[in-house]
Structures are given as structure tokens and as C-alpha cells.
Structure 1
Amino acid sequence: MKPQIINETSRLKSVILGVANSNGGEPDLEDAYDPKSIKHIKEGTYPEEKDMVEEIEAVAFILKKHNVEVFRPQVIKGYNQIFSRDIGFVIDNKFVFANILPDREKEIEAIDFVLDTIDDDQKIKLPEQCHIEGGDVMPHGDYIFVGTYRGEDYSSFITARTNVEAVDELQKLFPQKTVKSFNLRKSNTDPKSNALHLDCCFQPIGDNFAIIHKHGFLEEEEYNWLVNLYGKDQVFEIDAQEMYDMNSNIFSISEKVVISDVYFKRLNAWLTSKGIQVETVDYREIAKQEGLLRCSTLPLIRE
């Protein structure tokens, strides 16, 4: 396989979609990785496996309907493998292994059968001190957008997944690109004040549109930079509730086709008004783990 990704919206040819089978059930409170999961564990509303399997298989159906080659991780018994985006990402023709939470390293092994088809000189492993997850990384032509957290208290946040060392390393690895980082708002306790990854508060859509949540960004000038890049009329602004519901975490099959949650009525109407076809699924149960459609997918090839 020859991976190739230069942006978020070109025609998708090949993707790894996570699996929800044998996901280990409800974790202990101390083992939860984000405030939204913690909230649902406490309230007794954590999602059940059968519901999540149904939701993610609906995504697989839509991808195949649009002639996308879909790979699925090998199932590890009792292990959460829904969010394949976290474990790696492609920039240009390079597959970059994410340095993720240590408890999740088995997820990489489950896609070895795909990675083994990629030439070794097209695979990159970052230095150990570089923390990064795919939800924070967005190739955008001559740019690489990267969500990070620059605070000195980085280590105190379970929700801070990409550090400045990783941002600097990406710039060294891709000197022909401009790596533009964004300082994101983090909270271990309040899911409405936590941008777990960049795709939880921002995403490019179509030819030149974007979804954005202003208060996901700690630096207003960085939010303004993005709005100015697209133009205010091209940006769909979401509020704290819509960010919590994961409105910015939909997924593009092409510039003209996206997969969205049927629950996102306002967003889906806006997308349709811009000439974008919206394929809908119900992803309310998977969303309880603070991830949605982009989080579930790891694109390998876009035309």
C-alpha cells in the first residue's frame, strides 16, 4: 500500500474503521480517559457494546456504499478499539505512529496486517518524549494543523494528548510544510470545557468550509486565524452544547459527501445548504466516550 493524505476532505479511497466488538464493557472510574466517559459511568449511562457495534457498522455500510476500501482492526478480546484515529495518521505519503496512552498500545498491533503492506521508509516513529494522537493532527495542503496544550501543567491533564515536543518534531519531519499549532482548552472534569483533540472543536469541510467552537481555543488569536483563513461566512460556529455533542467530529468521504450524526439538525441543514450530501447515522452511544465519526476512522488514501 502507498498511503497518501494531503487534506481532510479529498475523495477517500482507503480507511481503517474501528471496531466495537468485545470492547471490555464499562471501565472502572479510575481507568476512564476523559470527563465525558467519567460522567456517564457516574450516571449509569455508559454505552452498551451491542449498541456501539450497531452504530459503527452503520458507518461501515455507508463507506462501502461509496466504494471506500474499509479495513477493520483485528479484535482484541476485552479491549476498546473504536477510536482508530488516535493510533496513527498519514501526512503526504508517510504513516506516522502516534505516541498514545501506554494502556492503548495494543491497538497498533491490531492493525499490523495493514501496516505491514506499507514500505518501511514510509513509516515514522516519533521519539519517546513526543506525545501525540491522530485526533490532534490535520493535514491541510501546505499546512499541518496540530492541537496541543502548552501549559506547564500539561502532565496533570489526562485530556492533554499532544505536547509541544511533538509539534516541533513534526515541523522537522515535514520541513516543506508549515506546522500551525493551536493551544486547546483542557479539563479533566467538565466535558463542556474540554477539547480533547483539535477535531473536538474544529474541522475543515468541503472545498473551503469549516466547523469551529471558539471556546475550545485558549488563544483567541489562534481561533481568529482559522476564521480568517476560511472567511466568516464559510465557518459554522458551534456552541458548548454542540461541541459536547461532537458536532465538529463528523467525517468527510469527499468534498461533496460527509457522514454526520442524525442528531445534528442545525449542522446538517447548513451542510446541505452548501451543496454537501449528508449521510447520517445515529452515534449517540459512541459519543458518550467523547469521540465520534472522525475519531473512529484512520484514513490511509485520499485521491
Structure 2
Amino acid sequence: MLQLNVKNETSRLRAVILGTAESNGPTPEEHEAYDPKSLEHIKAGTYPKEEDMTKEIEALHNVFKKYGVEVYQPEIIENYNQIFSRDIGFVIDDVFIKANILPDRERELEAIQYVIDKMDPAKVVRPPQEVHIEGGDVILWDDHIFIGTYKGRDYKDYITARTNMEGVQFIKEMFPHKKVREFDLVKSRIEPRDNALHLDCCFQPVGKDKGVIYRGGFRDESDYMYLVDLFGHDNLFHIEREEMYHMTSNFFSIGQDIVVIEKNFGRLKTWLLDNGFTVEEVPYAEISKQEGLLRCSTLPLIRD
């Protein structure tokens, strides 16, 4: 039986579901793109190749091996994108919550059923149909739960709006002892530089009391200020629009002082090293072309 335990983003990682790029399928047609960044690369003929993405995931897998993390991967579905395991579910405390994802992605949950079977069935939850919530929008910070959402009246017109207010309410009711705070994110169907697909595209905590943030990712200045007040301005590393586009805030913590980043993030690396972190660098620039990075392709199950 898997004893699920995730209370924050930075405690020592013991078990994780890592996405796979094997049998990823052909380059999608333009109308099949789920996000503006994928669309940009489909149009430009620079959409990532399976062999390159497989190498990138292998590099991350090797870092997990180095730190003794138990790694599960989805069963392979032929010609199907299974990289972003964070979208399909997430753990809060000792509860696994299945995401109500875009309908065509339901098979991704079936591919990790063998892992779900190792969990206490009483601790596996499927929200009601009207609840939309994806793991990239859910960030845990001990007694806080931060949730990215989109409050625009045109929510249903945006394929890039992944978590609705019903999703926020669902988490509030399930975890009444936590401080649940939602953040209204900037969305765009056409310009990836102005699209915070999930909360982890514009904010993520690191270490004990620090974070990486993109001010322009929040539709409401008060949401940004809430995090500045909570963490302290000097504890936040501010990234620029182009850095947000390259997914700089989408790193992944193996421990409070161990952070995995994409190897091109020089400014972030310097800041992390200056603040006493151990930095593991992996190539992930090809996977990033699908508007997802290290946090998106990992689903932590157990942290100390």
C-alpha cells in the first residue's frame, strides 16, 4: 500500500509518477493544439520530436535515481502524449484527487491505474463532473493551498482555462482546515507569452520560505501582492515575460535544498546557488515547447 503524503512542494521526495514520451504520436494538427505554445511550434515546424523528448525525460529519471526516489511511469498508450502527469491528478496530504481533465485525455488516467490500485481506495477521490481542476493549478504550502483559476465570464471559450471556481470550492470543502486561496490567471489562446496555463507557470515556492514569481501572470494585482506579503519581496525571485514563456518558474524540488531546473535557466541558477540550493540541471527545452516543464511532468506521491 502506498502511504501517500504531500503537504508542500519542497519536502524530501520519496515517490513520484514521471510522465513518458515513448510512443508520443505524430505532430498534432493545428486544430488539435491544447495551448498557444504548442500551436506556435506546430506552425513553425519546430514541434518537438519523440526521440529528443524521451532523452529529456530520461535525464530527469536519472536525477531521481541519484537521490533514491521511487519512480512510476504510465503504461504506454500507442501514439499518445503522456508527458504531463501533473495534469491528471494530484496528492494533498494523504488523498489522491483525480482531475476532470479535457475529455480526450481520460486515457492518461487509465495508464496510471496500476499505481492508483496501490492506494487506499478510501483516499482516492473523483470530483463531480462540473469541477474542473488540474494539478498544475494546485500548489501546496503546508497549511496553505494556492489554486490558479480564471474568473472571466468567457471561461468556457478558453481551452487554456483549466481550473474553474467550482474546482476551488471543491478543495475548500474537502480541506476545511487549510487556507485555500485562488489566483485569477492571465489567459491567451494565441500568445504564449501572455498565457499562464497553470499557476506553476507564473509562481512556485522553493526551499523553506522563498519563491519564483512572474507578476504579469496575475489578472488581479491583489493576488500578486498577497504572495509578496506572505513570502516577503526579498524572498521572491522575479522573472520577466520571456522567462515565463520559457517556463522558468516550472522547476521541481526534490528536497528543501535540492532543485531541478532546465539547463538554460542561467539567471535562476545563479539566484538559487546564491541562496544555498543544490541545483541539478537537465535538458528540457524540447518538452517546454508544449507549454509544460519539470513540474508539469511529475506527480509527487510521497514526500517526507
Q: Same fold (TM over 0.5)?
A: yes
TM-score bracket, shorter-length normalisation? over 0.9
Deviation at 1:64, TM superposition (A): 0.9
Note the alpha carbon deviations across 1:191-216, whole angstroms, 9 max, x for none: 00000000000000011110000010
Aligned counterpart, 2:279: 278
Q: Which amino acid aligns with 2:21?
A: A
**Which whole-Å CA distance do the structure 2 matches of 1:98 and 1:3 have between them?**
17
Aligned counterpart, 1:28: 29
Matches within 5 A, 1:237-276: 237-276=238-277
Q: TM-score, normalised by structure 2?
A: 0.99
How large is the Cα RMSD of the aligned pairs? Answer: 0.5
Aligned counterpart, 2:212: 211
The SS at the match of 2:79 is coil
Aligned counterpart, 2:169: 168
Q: Which amino acid aligns with 1:286?
A: I
Instruction: Work out whether 1:9 is the aligned partner of 2:3.
Output: no
Q: Which amino acid aligns with 1:194?
A: N
Aligned counterpart, 1:199: 200
Gaps of 5+ in 2: none
Aligned counterpart, 2:145: 144
**Which whole-Å CA distance do the structure 1 matches of 2:178 and 2:267 have between them?**
34
**Which whole-Å CA distance do the structure 2 matches of 1:263 and 1:202 have between them?**
18
Q: Which amino acid aligns with 1:43?
A: A
- Give percent identity, aligned residues only: 55
Q: Which amino acid aligns with 2:64?
A: L
Deviation at 1:141, TM superposition (A): 1.0
Deviation at 1:143, TM superposition (A): 1.1
Deviation at 1:139, TM superposition (A): 1.5
Aligned counterpart, 1:236: 237
**Which whole-Å CA distance do the structure 1 matches of 2:25 and 2:133 have between them?**
24
Note the alpha carbon deviations across 1:225-279, whole angstroms, 9 max, x for none: 1011111111000010000000000000001101101100000010010000000
Give the 4+ runs in structure 1 shifted more than 3 A: none
Aligned counterpart, 2:67: 66
The SS at the match of 1:15 is strand
**Number of residues paired by the alignment?**
303
Deviation at 1:25, TM superposition (A): 2.1
**Which whole-Å CA distance do the structure 2 matches of 1:128 and 1:140 have between them?**
27
Aligned counterpart, 2:51: 50
**Which whole-Å CA distance do the structure 1 matches of 2:156 and 2:213 have between them?**
26
Aligned counterpart, 2:108: 107
Q: Which amino acid aligns with 1:15?
A: V
The SS at the match of 1:24 is coil
Q: Which amino acid aligns with 1:22?
A: S
Instruction: Work out whether 1:80 is the aligned partner of 2:89.
Output: no
Instruction: Work out whether 1:39 is the aligned partner of 2:37.
Output: no
Gaps of 5+ in 1: none
**Which whole-Å CA distance do the structure 2 matches of 1:117 and 1:262 have between them?**
34
Deviation at 1:120, TM superposition (A): 1.0
Q: Which amino acid aligns with 1:103?
A: D
Q: Which amino acid aligns with 1:14?
A: A
**Which whole-Å CA distance do the structure 2 matches of 1:258 and 1:249 have between them?**
11
